[in-house]
Amino acid sequence: MGKKKTDVVTFSNNRIFITLILQLVFGAMFSLIPPEHILLWLCINIGIAIVLALVNYVIWVYHKSDSKRYHSLHSFVMLFGFALYMMLPAFRGLYSSSFFWLLLLVTVALTGFLIYKYDAVTNAFVNPGDSWFFKLISIFGVTVFLLGGILWAYMNATETGPFIPVAIILFFIGFFILMLSPIMLATPERVEELRQRKYQ
């Protein structure tokens, strides 16, 4: 049997432009932290928003006949974008130091790991009693301790402006959103399959 007509996502209902506007607003806001090179970072953040919109368009082209799959992948891109905007001020503040590369390495490694293990991340939230839930909490705790220590060491080693504590808070909020985003990569069928494990 073919897909029901209601499963098809039309261009007018794909939410790409709404998401683009939200990300442009976020990008403009976070271009102000720290207050240096605002115009440059505004252009960079606008570029990121446009790239994410193009990614969403490609997703729509390939998955417009399956609304659930499209909206889950669209949500992943949206959450990834918001997380990226929140984390950028910390990277900007550290850019001129060696702490930048250490923070970048740890962040990229953890992001890649979470995306690679998206099925386990999904299972952790669908079945909180599963061991992976506690592993995920542990990962976040270790990340806060490790990266928080890096940022704190940088604050003590240099004369930082008042934006650094704000950047640290935004970074960890962004990282938490980043941890949640891989859930959206799982198909609805896989989520239901994982949910059924609870009753077996």
Domain limits, the chain:
11-199
Contact, 123 vs 194, CB < 8 A?
yes
pLDDT in tens, the chain (200 residues): 444 444 789 988 899 999 999 999 999 998 887 777 889 889 999 999 999 999 999 999 999 999 989 999 999 999 999 999 999 988 887 777 777 888 888 889 888 988 998 888 888 888 777 666 677 777 777 777 777 777 777 666 666 666 777 888 888 899 889 988 999 999 888 888 887 776 55
Q: What is the pLDDT of residue 34?
A: 75
**From the centroid of its chain, how far is CA 94?**
20
Cβ contacts of 88-91, under 8 Å, gap ≥ 24: 88/30, 88/41, 88/45, 89/30, 89/33, 89/34, 89/163, 89/166, 89/167, 89/170, 89/171, 90/151, 90/167, 90/168, 90/170, 90/171
Q: What is the pLDDT of residue 1?
A: 41
Q: What is the pLDDT of residue 2?
A: 45
Per residue in 38-83, pLDDT tens?
898 899 999 999 999 999 999 999 999 999 899 999 999 999 999 9
pTM over 0.85: no
Q: What is the pLDDT of residue 7?
A: 79
Q: What is the pLDDT of residue 72?
A: 93
Q: Token pair for residue 161?
A: 């402006």
